[in-house]
Structure 1
């Protein structure tokens, strides 16, 4: 296979590799890319994974593997199978660890986190399967979540709070 040494081609190949099989580490991914003639540094690979929205999820056997959201969707595919539950459990784990308060007003929810955690937490919300979320804006310790429903803020705030006690 001949793949041009462009960022776009490299990232497309990363998506194909991660979607088709179980890639357990960046080293394994770099090796697979190398087999395709794409030599990449760990720093470049790390940036690519962040830009692609890659996450680490457990596959059917319980092994942590990389997964990427499908274009135009919040669905994550690992080895050809969609993994929505992994994203939901990741969000629940972060709510337990980082959510301090959740308050609503109309279609807005304000989430408070420890200092420095808001941007990461907002990214996980954006990648989640919560279709009622239109988007997020994050500062250092505050996230504004905008809901699709003009009056959906209270329900969403309660959902975030319920995730803190989910097993």
Structure 2
């Protein structure tokens, strides 16, 4: 039953711009799934759903991770592009500014991709930083990441 529900959730968030747990709960009930708010919350966590900004400035649930590396660039690009406003750096630190509330999602998809010379990341509400091994690596990743915004 859980797998059927998870598959239905993935179908629903693909088909509808769902941005609240209550809306997802209602859609699941309409589809014949008798679930509670707690179950929906747990499902969202297990499926690793995040809210991503849409082109019109609203938000919707989307999947934040992937099952295989073939999907990673496409998924990464989609979430990163929808979340990030600008990228800049100082020394070994790269600063990624995001739409309000989206830094965690952008940082999550960034962390799921293998990058050279990344020491670590730290996300806040609308910004995340990337600590690079050296200034040259920081300059290179800034250029690489900016290409995803085009």
Q: For residue 154 of structure 1, report the CA deviation from its aligned partner.
A: 0.9
Query: Where does residue 41 of structure 2 map in the other structure?
Result: 43
Q: Tell me the distance in 2 between the aligned counterparts of 1:24 and 1:106.
A: 49
> Is the aligned partner of 1:135 residue 2:116?
no
Q: For residue 143 of structure 1, report the CA deviation from its aligned partner.
A: 0.8
5 Å-filtered alignment, 1:122-161, equals 122-147=107-132, 149-151=133-135, 152-161=137-146
* TM-score, with length taken from structure 1: 0.52
CA RMSD of aligned residues (A): 3.3
Query: Where does residue 6 of structure 2 map in the other structure?
Result: 26
Q: For residue 159 of structure 1, report the CA deviation from its aligned partner.
A: 0.8
Matched-pair contact (CA < 8 Å) for 2:81–2:149 = yes
* TM-score, with length taken from structure 2: 0.57
Matched-pair contact (CA < 8 Å) for 2:86–2:97 = yes
> Is the aligned partner of 1:117 residue 2:102?
yes
Higher fraction of helix = 2
Query: Where does residue 105 of structure 1 map in the other structure?
Result: 90
Q: Tell me the distance in 2 between the aligned counterparts of 1:111 and 1:88.
A: 18
1:108-156 CA distance string (max 9 Å, x none): 1001111111111111111123243332111111111112x32211111
Q: Tell me the distance in 2 between the aligned counterparts of 1:121 and 1:158.
A: 17
Number of corresponding residues: 108
Gaps of 5+ in 1: 1-13, 15-22, 30-39, 51-65, 69-75, 78-82
Matched-pair contact (CA < 8 Å) for 1:102–1:111 = yes
